[in-house]
Structure 1
Amino acid sequence: MTRRLLLVHAHPDDESITTGGTMAAYAAAGSEVTLVTCTLGEEGEIIPKGLGQLGSWAADQLGGYRSWELKVALRSLGVVEHRFLGGIGRWRDSGMAGTAAATHPRAFAGGSLGEQAAQLREILDERRPEVVITYNSSGGYGHPDHIRAHEVTMAAVREVPSVRRIFHIASGGGAVPVADGGATTEIDISAHLDAKIAALRAHATQVTVNPPVFALSNGVPQPIAEVERYMLVHGPADGAETDLFGGL
């Protein structure tokens, strides 16, 4: 029987940084892996100087460019099922709290939670995943869009009987570990590091890759780890685990 996994992320590149190896591993094993991306990441900083005019402060074309980067990244990970929440462009990157972007009429973090949860339920009903992954209540590092992605996911899954297990991201293969909680499940991605590295490279506006490390726009090197970690927050537990599906 085919196993079905669905992940909810806030912006293009989040999926590759925090869960890319996991997605590649389960896709390679024949599982149906679906990614839901909530915004186009329009407010992201831009690393390559030659692309600076794509930013929201100039041509405001970064979202479209990042959607192309995401398409390339998913091809590297072997993932074919992808949805933008509410359709491409429905929700906009909210930026950090207190910025002008947070007041945009399509800002994801300021949108209707009920509408967003209903949009995600439609995807969940279509894809019928047994396992769902998203951020914890702090969004990992406090970004408003990550927090809203958590809220939307937890609201939506309540009414979806196919979902047997829910995980929060506990670390991201080199990304800063989350603040609240450890890990129940560790996924060995060592056999899929090449796929993850290729996906990270696809997000060139946001990520610089120099294995065994990568860096975001702040230039701080972070290791590309061989394990991605998760916290089981709903569903049957089998103790220390190395499989998101456990005994399902």
Structure 2
Amino acid sequence: MLDDMLPDRRLLLVHAHPDDESSQSAATMARYLAEGAQVTLVTCTLGELGEILVPDWAHYSPRELGEHRQAEIAEAMAIVGVTDHVFLGGAGRYHDSGMVTTPDGRAGVPDDMPANAFWRADLLEAADHLVEVIRTRRPQVAVTYDPHGNYGHPDHIQAHRVLMYAVQLAATPSHRPDLGAPWQVQRVLWNTHNTSRWAEAYAIARERGLQLWEEADHDHGDDSAGRMFGPDPDQIVAVVELQPYLDICRRALFTHRSQVNAEDPFWQFFSIMQELPGSGEAYLLGAGQPFPAGDGPATDLFEGLTPDGR
């Protein structure tokens, strides 16, 4: 891509599996596409080991599920409007690593996983696949998970590692000049729960009798209830409003039928959260240029940045 062909604002998002982008970033992608920005989505695996929720598909092998989930994400991205979607290293290069639940109820790394599981990927090799994407798309803003993968899934943690490493390598002139001219991402953001909205939605869900997480199904004070669902709200640096894109978000999410059941109590809770005034996709600052000082979180992920990246 030539510089004069690139839009002024360019956004890169890195997610682990098909459906992660629709549950966490659909409003962000839809907004910036509507505003004329370039939006690039990188998905790291095909999600071959995801839970199959549709009984008619229960017989799918991991390979067949991966193929099906490629179709689901293609449909979802058509709804959102994303045309620049790539799988890291090519579709199927990295396999879903799977996840186990530890005795204390947390996400953990399984003992057995495929040889090409993303968790076992060579970090430099995986990062170089992303370096090429960064150098050709030249995003000012890049988005992925926090260092814990938001909730501990091994592939989410690895996606975080790969992006953070790739951002450094992409800006280093001596590193792999065959992958393109160096490019410095100005701001790295980590998507996170909009803590106060999640706590508010949880209270409403309980009032409606929805049964959610057993470990969370007891009384809390307001402060602890808020902290269950995400970071200290003061750490949230930006929120992209969800309401203008609510229909797009829901239609994109529910194309992932193998993973998302609209009747499940969690997704009912999620819908409650989406409908709350002030709800939006929240972000932490992972690296790079901070947002200009202001009252509360920024409403534009590009606020304070220059179009040319310098």
Q: TM-score scaled by structure 1?
A: 0.89
Q: May I ask how many residue pairs the two structures share in their alignment? A: 239
SS of the residue corresponding to residue 257 of structure 2 reads coil
Say whether residues 1:73 and 2:73 are aligned partners: no
> Which structure has more strand as a fraction of its residues?
1
Say whether the 8 Å CA contact 1:131–1:164 is kept in structure 2: yes
- Pair member with larger Rg: 2
> Which structure has more helix as a fraction of its residues?
2
Unaligned 5+ residue runs, structure 1?
none
Q: Which residue is 1:62 aligned to?
A: 65
Q: Which one of 236, 250, 259 corresponds to residue 206 of structure 1?
A: 259
Distance in 2 between the 1:178 and 1:101 partners?
30
Change (3 A) 1:31 1:214: farther
Q: Which residue is 2:186 aligned to?
A: 164
Instruction: Kindly state the Cα deviation for residue 177 of structure 1 after the two structures are TM-superposed.
Output: 4.1
Distance in 2 between the 1:110 and 1:53 partners?
27
Q: Which residue is 1:113 aligned to?
A: 123
Say whether the 8 Å CA contact 1:207–1:214 is kept in structure 2: no
Distance in 2 between the 1:105 and 1:5 partners?
32
Aligned residue identity for 1:222: F
Say whether residues 1:222 and 2:270 are aligned partners: yes
Amino-acid identity (%): 42
Aligned residue identity for 2:151: Y
SS of the residue corresponding to residue 116 of structure 1 reads helix
Say whether the 8 Å CA contact 1:101–1:107 is kept in structure 2: no
Say whether residues 1:151 and 2:151 are aligned partners: no
Change (3 A) 1:80 1:107: same
For 1:101-140, list aligned pairs within 5 A: 101-102=112-113, 104-140=114-150
Residue by residue over 1:195-237, the C-alpha shift from the partner in whole angstroms, topping out at 9 and shown as x without a partner, is: 11110111010012269x863xxxx742352311001222132
Instruction: Kindly state the Cα deviation for residue 178 of structure 1 after the two structures are TM-superposed.
Output: 4.2
Distance in 2 between the 1:91 and 1:243 partners?
32
Instruction: Kindly state the Cα deviation for residue 98 of structure 1 after the two structures are TM-superposed.
Output: 4.5
Q: Which one of 22, 25, 33 corresponds to residue 31 of structure 2?
A: 25
Instruction: Kindly state the Cα deviation for residue 95 of structure 1 after the two structures are TM-superposed.
Output: 0.4
Distance in 1 between the 2:266 and 2:252 partners?
12
Say whether the 8 Å CA contact 1:46–1:55 is kept in structure 2: no
Q: TM-score scaled by structure 2?
A: 0.72
Distance in 1 between the 2:298 and 2:16 partners?
26
Residue by residue over 1:164-195, the C-alpha shift from the partner in whole angstroms, topping out at 9 and shown as x without a partner, is: 11000122796984468831101112111111
